[in-house]
Structure 1
């Protein structure tokens, strides 16, 4: 029987906190399992897949078994995506390093690179939620993450602000990092992204109904 009242609320909060700590430790373990370089992408995808279930109200499932399932299934594909991200980061970084001279036209190039970096950050913010929510090919993940971020700028800003505040919290309380850093950030991003997905679906349904009524 589920407890109600104050004790029931305290129990549910305690369970949720323990789950966040557990899945954060799983993220660390599975990242190390892949030698960090090959482990971080599938571990992060599995983390977002778990938090997506929680955001959607799915609580009764075996966490370890589910995490391991996503980790194995997405190991190759997620690492290919990670390689693409790594190449983009290197290209942006190298271009910034090449623009060290104080020439007027280089200021224009710097602004362009800064703009591209902002676009890249938007892609990264929405990439993992899009990855676990849709079945797409690699370029489509990048495209849809960018379109969602640009199409819902308020959500994008709120996600960015939330990530910044969480990072500030963990810098003040570094002892929380091994237990809550990635899982909490993942949960917050997934919660906000899920709100965005719901808005997209609502608009799609409205357009569909309008189209049916017009016919």
Structure 2
């Protein structure tokens, strides 16, 4: 019996490794144009000790909305199912169906985010290098850039979870980042740790780097969103009872986030 239980445990571990590696490999393939350019850029830095040239940044910025963003949204859709307890679904079918279904939303959102990131980065470079007396603005741009990058975790989670207009996806991604900063920061720190380990053991890149980050990001998003829902439900109960006393924080969350989120259709219902 012990041997049978051990074999069953090993089988489950192997199965999970295959799921993680499989979904991660699909992400790598679909994001390959960006990843290849990134590798070229890093090799250039290593060989010349110079920053990545504009000739590499430019095609990366152009291609990202059409490759990296849809691939990442599809990966989040896969990890969403795992977080929701649906672990027996076929990875290949789920990934590419999600890639197709979410392509327009993620592509349009990718265009917006890419343009915003490029503008903020250029502003940062200009203020820090060309206007020495305005470096404070460069620091502000850097902080805003970091914040926008953090909101991407919520953006991809929202794309995976809701049928919603792109404008609302972006708005709620930013609002959730403001209202639940520690959850988002914990996701970022996890991504940094996974990235550090991957840099040390580069052979891990095809086998779990992106999937593990997406899994943790959606896990944190799900907890944050559930808490917001609970606060809204308490607020609604107070309103139904006709009591004027309301939780100020719940009211703030309701007005700023969940009112918009409830307009979207939960993909779990489909």
Give me the TM-score of the superposition, normalised by structure 2.
0.71
* Distance in 2 (alpha carbons) for counterparts of 1:102 and 1:73: 45
Stretches of structure 1 that go unaligned for 5 or more consecutive residues are none
Say whether the 8 Å CA contact 1:122–1:145 is kept in structure 2. no
CA RMSD of aligned residues (A): 2.4
Aligned residue in 2 for 1:203: 231
Q: Pick one of 81, 85, 96 that aligns with 2:113.
A: 85
Q: Does 2:135 match 1:107?
A: yes
Aligned residue in 1 for 2:11: 11
Q: Pick one of 89, 100, 124 that aligns with 2:152.
A: 124
Deviation at 1:71, TM superposition (A): 1.3
Deviation at 1:43, TM superposition (A): 1.4
Deviation at 1:178, TM superposition (A): 1.1
* Distance in 1 (alpha carbons) for counterparts of 2:238 and 2:5: 44
* Distance in 2 (alpha carbons) for counterparts of 1:164 and 1:30: 22
Aligned residue in 1 for 2:97: 69
Deviation at 1:46, TM superposition (A): 0.9
Q: Pick one of 135, 139, 157 that aligns with 2:185.
A: 157
- After superposition, the C-alpha distances for 1:56-98 in whole angstroms (9 at most, x for unaligned) are 1012222211222111222233212111111112101211222
Assess, with a 3 A threshold, how the Cα gap between structure 1 residues 43 and 97 changes in structure 2: closer, same or farther: same
Q: Does 2:170 match 1:142?
A: yes
* Distance in 2 (alpha carbons) for counterparts of 1:64 and 1:103: 52
Q: How does 1:149-188 map to 2 (within 5 A)?
A: 149-188=177-216
Say whether the 8 Å CA contact 2:121–2:141 is kept in structure 1. no
* Distance in 1 (alpha carbons) for counterparts of 2:11 and 2:230: 34
Larger radius of gyration: 2
Say whether the 8 Å CA contact 2:78–2:95 is kept in structure 1. yes
Deviation at 1:6, TM superposition (A): 4.7
Say whether the 8 Å CA contact 1:47–1:183 is kept in structure 2. yes
Higher relative contact order (CA 8 A, sep 6+): 1
Give me the TM-score of the superposition, normalised by structure 1.
0.88
Stretches of structure 2 that go unaligned for 5 or more consecutive residues are 37-59, 244-270
Assess, with a 3 A threshold, how the Cα gap between structure 1 residues 96 and 33 changes in structure 2: closer, same or farther: closer
